[in-house]
């Protein structure tokens, strides 16, 4: 029987290796000198950090002698700034709306909620084109407002937090109500603290989704200085597309913060997925 | 004078709902209506095109557009990855749920330390004789196996979930390089493997190839069929499976399995059921609601998918073979600037998704009722 347990471990380890090898190759290639890229190896014979220096514009590209047209510090800032604002706003608007749907009685409530649910079925591509036109109308193209505001409202987030708030026993609100608390106090002091696991899960998904968001920034951003990291990585598709070692250095810079975030937040994230049956 | 409690309540509800409802109306419901109306017009980003109501013309054009059928075929073809990754997620979840602890006092800790020590020694030796890559691989193996053995399910889960968590532009670029026909890791490994046995291997062209596994079928001329083999679409599928197999679906299955009543398994033990029988007659049927949810969500997502991969890796090529309907909508809207036609395609996509979901619902519910 002990042998069977061991065999299971062997199987699980082999799969884990398969899942991680692309990342190992990415790390290895990012420290390769150009002439070693075509060799089959995970670790270069002459490892060097030059590729990172080139991508971060500390050194010129050895082939053209020019500095690459990249701006990682700015892209990081943009990505984090936009994702953080969207997360804060979305959690705020979603939790308030969820409170209205889960804890308050008002005429038409279930119909409005059904409308929210119904729109979740419609592909994002349907609303993308008109939203772009709305952004043109508001003169939000190529601005932070344009990146943040349309993403700050979420039917999904409202749905997730509503489900969570429905699970909180009524007796808590009633006790607070008898003590003379108004709805704002009940929301802030009773419901929000109890909905914390749901809010944390929604925050992680929203932040990650917007940090990695590709489509919306792709159509909104016109200017190099407004790029987020995923859009910045597009530079590698055309002009620098042949230099694998530079692409991998840039990719490492996209992926490593995410791996750190994942390892730190793993527990909350997993419980969040189980909570809402979420697609991340 | 105080308002009636119902009206007071409605006012409070409106205060709480207000910000979200405003955003919902402006950025979701409004655009849906605009898109629907726009799909019956000449709506364009080109100022030279006057906005005119043209009835069903966009839809008529669409059904006569041979590319629409081609890209719909591509979209469906890429869904092949879905059953593979769902089955994989289920298998991983079942495997992770097995008894992974070793017997004996601290057997798990001891084995974990043995694995760490052993792999460190081998890695050190390999490093010493100059095989740095092998040493690195063994070192990684040691790290993974000692973590996995010690932490069990949670340890392995971390490694499996990483591709899903990091999925995005970065990992797409990473795979683009892995698929490089000449020096990507995949083809280099295939060739090296062939050399080992003295075989001459002609590796697939991956992202540059129009071949596909259904290439032997007599597909229409404009489907740009490159014959039977592994091509760009298979590359997309493999990447998708890698990203999804240990992701959210696996986590959902793990949660589903932990909800199955242990009594069912105890009863099957008494009856002397084999491992496969336990899976076939308890685990799998008990997970039916989870599977149903995953399939429905997977189809909804999958039919809308393929945009990022197409935009970053292939620009929809080679010869349009990786253009999906979502990428087609994007190119119609933002490259040809024809928003009306793009909107029409997006509504047809919605109807397809709706139809498939309804079929799913009917079939899924009747299957559950059995």
Verify that A204 and A92 share a domain, yes or no: yes
Put simply, whether B27 touches A (Cβ < 8 Å) is yes
What mean pLDDT is predicted for residues B38-50? 90
Per-residue model confidence as pLDDT tens digits over B275-301: 889 999 999 999 988 898 889 888 988
Verify that B115 and B218 share a domain, yes or no: no
Q: How far apart, in whole angstroms, are the C-alpha atoms of residue B86 and residue B247? A: 10
A126 and B255 within 8 Å at the Cβ level: the answer is no
Q: How far apart, in whole angstroms, are the C-alpha atoms of residue B201 and residue B198? A: 9
B263 to A244, B259, B287, B320: CA distances (angstroms): 55, 11, 16, 54
List, in sequence order, the alpha helices (H) in B184-247: 185-197, 232-245
Verify that A4 and A141 share a domain, yes or no: no
Task: Output the DSSP codes for B312-368.
Answer: IIITT-STTTT--HHHHHHIIIIIS--HHHHHHHHHHHHHHHHHHHHHHHHHHHHHH
Q: Which residues form the domain of A41?
A: 1-48
**Considering the domain boundaries, does residue A103 fall inside one?**
yes
- pLDDT score of B202: 86
Cβ pair B178, B186 in contact under 8 A: yes
**Considering the domain boundaries, does residue B54 fall inside one?**
no
Which domain CATH number covers B186? 1.10.3720.10
Q: Which residue of A has its CA nearest to B333?
A: A129
Verify that A30 and A91 share a domain, yes or no: no
Verify that A37 and A173 share a domain, yes or no: no
Q: Which residues pair with B41 in a beta bridge?
A: B53
| Token output for B189 | 């490994």
Verify that A29 and A76 share a domain, yes or no: no
Q: Which residue of A has its CA nearest to B131?
A: A43
- Chain A closest-CA separation from residue B165 CA (Å): 7
Cβ pair A223, A71 in contact under 8 A: no
Would you tell me which residues 269-288 of chain B have a C-beta closer than 8 angstroms to some C-beta of chain A?
A: none
Per-residue model confidence as pLDDT tens digits over B115-132: 889 999 998 998 888 888
- Chain B closest-CA separation from residue A123 CA (Å): 6
pLDDT band of residue B227 (cuts 50, 70, 90) is: confident
B19 and A29 within 8 Å at the Cβ level: the answer is no
B354 to A123, B226, B301, B303, B358: CA distances (angstroms): 10, 32, 12, 11, 6
Q: Which residues pair with B228 in a beta bridge?
A: B212
Q: Which of B357, B239, B251 is nearest to B298 (CA)?
A: B357
**Best A8, A11, A22 residue to mutate vs chain B (most B CBs within 10 Å):** A22
* pLDDT beyond 80 at B364: no
**Considering the domain boundaries, does residue B251 fall inside one?**
yes
What mean pLDDT is predicted for residues A31-53? 86
**Considering the domain boundaries, does residue B120 fall inside one?**
yes
pLDDT band of residue B106 (cuts 50, 70, 90) is: confident
Which domain CATH number covers A149? 1.10.3720.10
Verify that B203 and B233 share a domain, yes or no: yes
More confident residue, B166 or A120: B166
What mean pLDDT is predicted for residues B200-205? 86
The chain-wide mean pLDDT, for chain B, equals: 89
**Considering the domain boundaries, does residue B78 fall inside one?**
yes
Verify that B261 and B313 share a domain, yes or no: yes
- Phi first, then psi, for residue A224 (nearest 5°) are -55, -40
**Considering the domain boundaries, does residue A17 fall inside one?**
yes
**Considering the domain boundaries, does residue B45 fall inside one?**
no
Cβ pair B211, B226 in contact under 8 A: yes
Q: Which of B193, B238, B194, B248 is nearest to A19 (CA)?
A: B238
- Chain A closest-CA separation from residue B311 CA (Å): 9
Per-residue model confidence as pLDDT tens digits over B303-321: 998 899 999 888 888 999 9
Verify that B196 and B225 share a domain, yes or no: yes
pLDDT band of residue B219 (cuts 50, 70, 90) is: confident
**Considering the domain boundaries, does residue B28 fall inside one?**
no
Verify that A78 and A30 share a domain, yes or no: no
Report ipTM (2 d.p.). Answer: 0.89
Put simply, whether B308 touches A (Cβ < 8 Å) is yes
Instruction: Please tell me which of the candidates B145, B171, B339 has its beta carbon nearest to residue A129.
Output: B339
What mean pLDDT is predicted for residues A144-151? 94
pLDDT band of residue A236 (cuts 50, 70, 90) is: confident
**Considering the domain boundaries, does residue A110 fall inside one?**
yes
Q: Which residue of B has its CA nearest to A138?
A: B26
Put simply, whether B214 touches A (Cβ < 8 Å) is no
- pLDDT score of B369: 52
- pLDDT score of A237: 72
Verify that B125 and B270 share a domain, yes or no: no
A20 and B175 within 8 Å at the Cβ level: the answer is no
**Considering the domain boundaries, does residue A206 fall inside one?**
yes
Verify that A131 and A88 share a domain, yes or no: yes
**Considering the domain boundaries, does residue A237 fall inside one?**
no
Report the Cα B134 to chain-centroid distance in Å: 31
- pLDDT score of B62: 93
Cβ neighbours of B242 (radius 10 Å): 23
Map chain A to HEC letters.
CHHHHHHHHHHHHHHHHHHHHHHHHHHHHHCCCHHHCCCCCCCCCCCCCHHHHHHCCCCCCCCCCCCCCCCHHHHHHHHHHHHHHHHHHHHHHHHHHHHHHHHCCCCCHHHHHHHHHHHCCCCHHHHHHHHHHHHHHHCCCCCHHHHHHHHHCCHHHHHHHHHHHHCCCHHHHHHHHHCCCCHHHHHHHHHHHHCHHHHHHHHHHHHHHHHCCCHHHHHHCCCHHHCCHHHHHHHHCCCCCCCHHHHHHHHHHHHHHHHHHHHHHHHHHHHHHHHHCCCC
Verify that B249 and B298 share a domain, yes or no: yes
pLDDT band of residue A164 (cuts 50, 70, 90) is: confident
Cβ pair A210, A231 in contact under 8 A: no
Verify that B108 and B174 share a domain, yes or no: no
Verify that B93 and B165 share a domain, yes or no: yes
- pLDDT score of B160: 93
**Considering the domain boundaries, does residue A56 fall inside one?**
no
Cβ pair A91, A157 in contact under 8 A: yes
Per-residue model confidence as pLDDT tens digits over A61-119: 877 778 888 888 899 999 999 999 999 999 999 999 999 999 888 888 889 988 888 88
What mean pLDDT is predicted for residues A180-197? 88
- pLDDT score of A22: 93
Give the rounded percent of residues in chain A with a pLDDT score beyond 70: 96
Instruction: Please tell me which of the candidates A2, A134, A277 has its beta carbon nearest to residue B293.
Output: A277
Write out chain A residues lying below 8 Å of B293, CB-based.
Answer: 277
| Token output for A55 | 């991508």
- pLDDT score of A278: 46
**Considering the domain boundaries, does residue A57 fall inside one?**
no
Verify that A210 and A149 share a domain, yes or no: yes
- pLDDT score of A21: 92
Per-residue model confidence as pLDDT tens digits over B329-354: 999 988 999 999 999 999 999 999 88
Verify that B247 and B329 share a domain, yes or no: yes
Verify that B330 and B203 share a domain, yes or no: yes
| Four-residue CA torsion sign, A87, A92, A97, A102 | positive
**Considering the domain boundaries, does residue B47 fall inside one?**
no
Per-residue model confidence as pLDDT tens digits over B59-73: 999 999 999 999 999
pLDDT band of residue A280 (cuts 50, 70, 90) is: very low
pLDDT band of residue B1 (cuts 50, 70, 90) is: very low
pTM for the structure as a whole:
0.89
Verify that A16 and A128 share a domain, yes or no: no
Write out chain A residues lying below 8 Å of B145, CB-based.
Answer: 9, 13
Instruction: Please tell me which of the candidates B162, B307, B339 has its beta carbon nearest to residue A215.
Output: B307
A259 and B98 within 8 Å at the Cβ level: the answer is no
- pLDDT score of A119: 84
* pLDDT beyond 90 at B38: yes
Number of structural domains found in chain B: 2
Write out chain B residues lying below 8 Å of A233, CB-based.
Answer: 169-170, 173, 312
Q: How far apart, in whole angstroms, are the C-alpha atoms of residue A150 and residue A15? A: 40
Q: Which residues form the domain of B142?
A: 102-151
Per-residue model confidence as pLDDT tens digits over B136-158: 889 889 999 888 888 888 889 88
First and final C-alpha spacing in chain B: 60
Verify that B119 and B252 share a domain, yes or no: no
pLDDT band of residue B362 (cuts 50, 70, 90) is: confident
A255 and B166 within 8 Å at the Cβ level: the answer is yes
Q: Please tell me the total number of residues recorded for chain B in this structure.
A: 370
- pLDDT score of A279: 38
* pLDDT beyond 70 at A238: no
Rg (CA), chain A: 24
Verify that A214 and A90 share a domain, yes or no: yes
What mean pLDDT is predicted for residues A42-65? 85
pLDDT band of residue A276 (cuts 50, 70, 90) is: low
- pLDDT score of B339: 92
**Considering the domain boundaries, does residue A67 fall inside one?**
no
Give the rounded percent of residues in chain B with a pLDDT score beyond 90: 42
The chain-wide mean pLDDT, for chain A, equals: 87
Cβ pair A230, B309 in contact under 8 A: no
CB pairs under 8 A between A and B: 295
B349 and A244 within 8 Å at the Cβ level: the answer is no
A233 and B255 within 8 Å at the Cβ level: the answer is no
- pLDDT score of A240: 59
Number of structural domains found in chain A: 2
- pLDDT score of A101: 92
Verify that A85 and A29 share a domain, yes or no: no
- Chain A closest-CA separation from residue B196 CA (Å): 14
Per-residue model confidence as pLDDT tens digits over B234-284: 999 999 999 999 988 998 898 889 888 889 888 888 888 888 899 999 999
pLDDT band of residue A45 (cuts 50, 70, 90) is: confident
Q: How far apart, in whole angstroms, are the C-alpha atoms of residue A121 and residue B55? A: 25
Verify that B190 and B133 share a domain, yes or no: no
**Best B4, B31, B115 residue to mutate vs chain A (most A CBs within 10 Å):** B31
């Amino acid at each position: 029987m002990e042998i069977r347990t061991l065999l299971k471990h062997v199987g699980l380890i082999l799969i884990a290796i398969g899942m991680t090898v692309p990342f190992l190759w990415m790390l290895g290639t990012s420290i390769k000198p150009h002439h070693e890229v075509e060799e089959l190896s995970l670790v270069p014979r002459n490892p060097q950090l030059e590729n990172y220096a080139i991508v971060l514009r500390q050194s010129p590209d050895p082939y053209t002698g020019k500095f690459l047209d990249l701006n990682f510090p700015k892209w990081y800032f943009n990505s984090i700034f936009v994702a953080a604002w969207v997360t804060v706003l979305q959690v705020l608007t979603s939790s308030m709306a969820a409170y209205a749907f889960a804890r308050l009685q008002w005429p038409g409530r279930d119909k409005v909620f059904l409308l929210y649910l119904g729109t979740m079925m419609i592909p994002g591509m349907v609303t993308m084109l008109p939203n772009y036109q709305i952004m043109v109308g508001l003169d939000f193209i190529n601005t932070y407002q344009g990146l943040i505001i349309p993403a700050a409202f979420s039917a999904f987030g409202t749905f997730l937090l509503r489900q969570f708030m429905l699970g909180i026993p009524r007796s808590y609100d009633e006790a607070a109500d008898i003590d003379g608390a108004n709805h704002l106090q009940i929301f802030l002091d009773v419901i929000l603290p109890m909905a914390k696991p749901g809010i944390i899960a929604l925050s992680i998904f929203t932040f990650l989704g917007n940090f990695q968001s590709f489509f919306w920034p792709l159509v909104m951003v016109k200017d190099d200085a407004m790029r987020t990291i995923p859009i910045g990585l597009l530079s590698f598709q055309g002009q620098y597309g042949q230099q694998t070692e530079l692409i991998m250095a840039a990719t490492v810079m996209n992926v490593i913060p995410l791996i750190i975030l994942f390892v730190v937040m793993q527990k909350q994230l997993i419980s969040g997925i189980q909570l809402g049956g979420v697609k991340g | 004078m105080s308002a009636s409690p119902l009206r007071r309540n409605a006012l409070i509800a409106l205060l709480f709902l207000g910000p979200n409802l405003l955003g919902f109306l402006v950025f979701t419901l409004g655009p849906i209506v605009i898109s629907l109306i726009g799909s019956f017009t000449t709506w364009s980003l080109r100022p030279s095109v006057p906005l005119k109501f043209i009835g069903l013309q966009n839809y008529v054009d669409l059904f006569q557009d041979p590319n629409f059928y081609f890209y719909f075929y591509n979209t469906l073809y890429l869904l092949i990855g879905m059953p593979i990754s769902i089955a994989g997620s289920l298998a991983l979840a079942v495997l992770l749920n097995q008894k992974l602890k070793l017997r004996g006092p601290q057997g798990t800790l001891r084995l974990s330390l043995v694995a760490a020590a052993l792999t460190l020694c081998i890695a050190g030796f390999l490093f010493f004789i100059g095989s740095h890559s092998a040493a690195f691989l063994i070192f990684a193996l040691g790290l993974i196996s000692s973590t996995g053995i010690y932490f069990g399910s949670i340890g392995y889960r971390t490694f499996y979930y990483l591709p899903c968590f990091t999925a995005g532009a970065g990992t797409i670029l990473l795979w683009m390089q892995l698929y490089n026909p000449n020096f990507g890791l995949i083809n280099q490994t295939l060739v090296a493997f062939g050399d080992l046995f003295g075989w001459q291997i002609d590796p697939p062209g991956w992202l540059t190839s129009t071949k596909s596994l259904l290439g032997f079928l007599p597909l229409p001329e404009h489907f740009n069929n490159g014959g039977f083999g592994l091509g760009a679409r298979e590359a997309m599928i493999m990447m998708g499976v890698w990203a999804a197999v240990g992701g959210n679906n696996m986590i959902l299955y793990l949660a589903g399995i932990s909800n199955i009543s242990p009594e069912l398994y105890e009863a099957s033990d008494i009856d002397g059921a084999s491992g496969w029988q336990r899976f076939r007659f308890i685990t799998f049927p008990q997970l039916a609601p989870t599977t149903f949810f995953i399939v429905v969500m997977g189809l909804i997502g999958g039919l809308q998918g393929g945009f990022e991969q197409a935009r970053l890796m292939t620009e929809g090529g080679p010869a349009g073979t990786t253009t999906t309907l979502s990428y087609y909508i994007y190119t119609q809207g933002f490259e040809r600037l024809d928003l009306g036609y793009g909107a029409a395609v997006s509504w047809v996509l919605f109807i397809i998704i709706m139809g498939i979901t309804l079929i799913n619902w009917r079939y899924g519910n009747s299957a559950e009722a059995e």
